[in-house]
Structure 1
Amino acid sequence: MTRRQPVGGSVRPGWEAVRDAFAHGQAHDPGAAQLAVHHRGRLVVDLWSAGSATTAGAPFGADSVGVLMSVSKGLTAVCAHLLSQRGALDLHAPVARYWPRFAAGGKAETTVADLLAHRAGLPAFTDEAEGVGLPGLLDQQARVRALAAMRPVWEPGTAFLYHALTQGHLVGEVVRRVTGTGIGAYLAREVAGPLGLDLWFGLPRREEHRFVPQRAVRPAPTPDQVAAAVGGLGLAPDDRLATALRASAAELAAATEAFGTRLGRAAEFPAAGGIGNARSLSRLYAALVGPVGGVRLLSASTVDRARAPHTDHLPPPAPLDRLDGPDRSRFGLGFELPRPGNPLLGEGSFGHAGAGGRLGMAHPESGLAVGYVCTAMSWDPPSGPDPRWVAWTAAVREAAGVPGED
């Protein structure tokens, strides 16, 4: 029997079906969630379902904030594109132009675009099979030094594989070198501040009372499970790709644990540790594709450059290329692009999903921008789109008059 969660918030006339669809998607979700939609710069959907979540005894609502996991990569990408648009950063220049020590280990020709598109061959912080635990994973300077010295697992630019945690430190260090300030401070000053967003890399202590923790519903793969999988592909245990894959799994587990602590939430962890809410995510993406309150962050040409495919022509590194198929990940410059397992808002849209089911995205042609934040980490990417997304995504597209996919 379907269990209806109470849904709070509001929708503008013509968007009522989105409320019903959101309630349907949350019916079996044990956690809390928020959904916000902007259309041509105007907030048209602002909903939440509290589930059993509370924050410091207060009801869960639109102002509650949580960990965004890899939705954070979209925030990191915005910072890089903003610098590029202003002429301070050449995305196709070698990283070493801005970060000289990065040239070590055969990375002299690796470009900033390689970092954004997961082509850099640095998918984990360490070559050690056990990965990086706490508190070492939160030592930002140590992580940056390690990445600068590291030898790529594959020749940069010749293959791609998701850089789950390293991408944020890689791009974040370039931002720091260009601006003289950390990416958290840059995001606050140039993005969140002008738009009035509740989005942070490093949650201020004064905002802790609004934080709602996440909880795992579906366990993530363990390093042992990854080891068994890569062994089945014929990789030797000491192969550098095998050790990187095991390390990445261990690092993700440690990071997820860290985000449940004040120390972890205060840290600047730009690949997965962003903190915010759906309303702010939606407003951010709306300001990428049009003006919001007189502020537009990126020009149309910058958005087109950001959402142009940059990995469709590349395979994963061997022997993972043997697993390549129609639902392979697709990346522009820092943003995910539509694929069957994560269709976003259809052809032409861009954004980024996060572990467990978070989602931020926009569709420039329709003027749609969406933020979805949840506390129950239940999305299983290999199984397709998160069931919580499906009904409201269709309702949002219909309300905006976006044609359905063939």
Structure 2
Amino acid sequence: MAEVKGHCDNAFTKVRDLLASNIASEAELGACVCVNIDGKNIVDIWAGHTDENHQTEWQENTIINVFSCSKTITNLAVLICHDRELLDVNEKISKYWPEFAANGKENILVRNILSHSTGVAGWEQPIAVQDVCDVQKSTALLAKQAPWWEPGTASGYHALNQGHLAGELVRRVTGKSLKQFVAEDIAGPLGADFQLGAVEKDWSRISTLIPPPSLAAETGAAGLSADSVSMKALTGPTPDALFALTPEWRNAEIGAANGHGNARSVNRIMSTISRGGEVDGTRLLSQKTIDLIFQEQTKGTDLVLLKPLRFGIGYGLPLKESVPWIPDRRVCFWGGWGGSSIIMDLDKKMTISYVMNKMGAGTVGNPRTVGYIEAIYDCVDKMSNGTA
């Protein structure tokens, strides 16, 4: 088996062995897994390589673009603003961002951004990824658009633009850019190695990526008409995994998709929710705000991803039809394009994170993702039953 580095409690050797097996079989190139229970990292492991030539080993401080796992931190930023009474998730977006009221959007609520239900799931064409990197320009375009469906009635995954919408709210109510807020109010206080974009001094420790099938192909949207919500969202603009390795992407602030970190740092931040709002003496959320997350906003076939999903305020909620590997209890989660995942299990005071560089098919997790999560829960159950 391949060598796995880091720490793994004896009760979780099944998880370590699975990572080793996946690396050895080349199902994985490089990856890391972290499990925190009640404030302790009982699993913090990594293995494999950061390049296809197997010249550079994945290190403890390797970071990578985690794509939509970025949304979990971006939405946390909005919830922190709510907790500080700088905004109200039940208030109209236009109260804080008047320009957003254009074209019939005056009554859309902040929580509609956090549940992918604004009706503005992407940009009107023509738009390129390079345009999205100009956050001021591309955010202004979103403010001018009309919704593609009746806001609040269904989710339509805001794959690339959720961070623009949420980030503009953060900027309006705090005076800080989203990137600055994440650095100064979240990652910094928690000592987490996470950033939106990536400063140039860190580029040498960023892993490469192996792209998956296109999102349109894997969701089935490729066969739809060009004016369908799904095709408009997934081609406005078309995501390009390898563009994430360019200076232009790394220098931008794409709150929905260009966060850089690893399983440990994402876990550190998101354990805020699993641990009741406080991490090692740093409180970011009250229990009252955490409870808001579990207020169901939408449930049904997502208009962009074309699969059943259930959203609360900021995060996905368990739904057996689409994520049977996530327990149906007080759990919230989301993943990143290619398979990365972050799960906050409040009943267990547990946070699970997985980050990898060999991207697979699947919009809320690939088979490797599922394997790690099921192995972790099996170990937890055996530990609880005294059979570990």
Which of 300, 307, 314 is the matching residue for 1:334?
314
User: 1:123 aligns to what?
Assistant: 121
Question: Unmatched 5+ residue regions in structure 2?
Answer: none
Q: CA RMSD in A?
A: 2.7
Could you tell me whether the CA contact under 8 Å between 2:123 and 2:233 is conserved in 1?
yes
How many residues are paired up?
378
Letter in 1 for 2:4: V
Could you tell me whether the CA contact under 8 Å between 1:99 and 1:174 is conserved in 2?
yes
**Deviation readout 1:155-207 (Å, 9 max, x if unpaired):** 21122211111111111101110111111100111110011111111211111
User: 1:392 aligns to what?
Assistant: 372
CA distance in 1, matches of 2:313, 2:22: 31
Which of 93, 96, 110 is the matching residue for 1:95?
93
User: 1:173 aligns to what?
Assistant: 168
Distance 1:293 1:58, change over 3 A: farther
Once the two structures are superposed, the pairs formed by residues 229-248 of structure 1 within 5 Å of their partners are 229-231=223-225, 237=226, 239=227, 242=228, 244-248=229-233
User: 1:284 aligns to what?
Assistant: 269
Correspondence 1:346 to 2:327: yes
User: 1:194 aligns to what?
Assistant: 189
**Deviation readout 1:287-317 (Å, 9 max, x if unpaired):** 22224322243233322211332102x6656
Once the two structures are superposed, the pairs formed by residues 18-29 of structure 1 within 5 Å of their partners are 18-26=15-23, 27-29=25-27
CA distance in 1, matches of 2:362, 2:129: 26
**Deviation readout 1:94-114 (Å, 9 max, x if unpaired):** 000000010110011000011
Correspondence 1:206 to 2:201: yes
Letter in 1 for 2:142: L
Which of 171, 174, 185 is the matching residue for 2:180?
185
Letter in 2 for 1:246: M
Which of 69, 72, 85 is the matching residue for 1:71?
69
Question: Unmatched 5+ residue regions in structure 1?
Answer: 232-236
Correspondence 1:265 to 2:250: yes
Once the two structures are superposed, the pairs formed by residues 293-372 of structure 1 within 5 Å of their partners are 293-312=280-299, 316=302, 328-340=308-320, 341-343=322-324, 345-347=326-328, 348-372=330-354
TM-score (norm: length of structure 1)? 0.85
User: 1:17 aligns to what?
Assistant: 14
User: 2:356 aligns to what?
Assistant: 374
Deviates more, 1:105-114 or 1:332-341: 332-341
Correspondence 1:161 to 2:146: no
CA distance in 2, matches of 1:398, 1:56: 32
CA distance in 1, matches of 2:56, 2:118: 44
Letter in 2 for 1:337: L
User: 2:60 aligns to what?
Assistant: 62
Letter in 2 for 1:99: W
CA distance in 1, matches of 2:120, 2:129: 20
CA distance in 1, matches of 2:81, 2:183: 14
Provide the secondary structure at the position in 2 that maps to 1:246.
helix
Could you tell me whether the CA contact under 8 Å between 1:104 and 1:149 is conserved in 2?
yes
Letter in 2 for 1:338: P
CA distance in 2, matches of 1:132, 1:328: 28
Could you tell me whether the CA contact under 8 Å between 1:288 and 1:299 is conserved in 2?
no
CA distance in 1, matches of 2:18, 2:89: 40
Q: How far does residue 385 in structure 1 lie from its aligned partner after superposition?
A: 4.9
Percent sequence identity is 29
Q: How far does residue 362 in structure 1 lie from its aligned partner after superposition?
A: 1.0
Distance 1:386 1:246, change over 3 A: closer
Distance 1:254 1:345, change over 3 A: closer
Letter in 2 for 1:221: A
CA distance in 2, matches of 1:346, 1:388: 17
**Deviation readout 1:307-357 (Å, 9 max, x if unpaired):** 332102x6656xx8xx97xx5021111211223433464122112111100
Distance 1:175 1:22, change over 3 A: same
TM-score (norm: length of structure 2)? 0.89
Q: How far does residue 134 in structure 1 lie from its aligned partner after superposition?
A: 4.3
Deviates more, 1:207-216 or 1:46-55: 46-55
Could you tell me whether the CA contact under 8 Å between 2:49 and 2:57 is conserved in 1?
no
Once the two structures are superposed, the pairs formed by residues 44-55 of structure 1 within 5 Å of their partners are 44-51=42-49, 53=51
Provide the secondary structure at the position in 2 that maps to 1:329.
strand
Q: How far does residue 375 in structure 1 lie from its aligned partner after superposition?
A: 0.4
Distance 1:92 1:117, change over 3 A: same
Letter in 1 for 2:319: R
Letter in 1 for 2:206: F
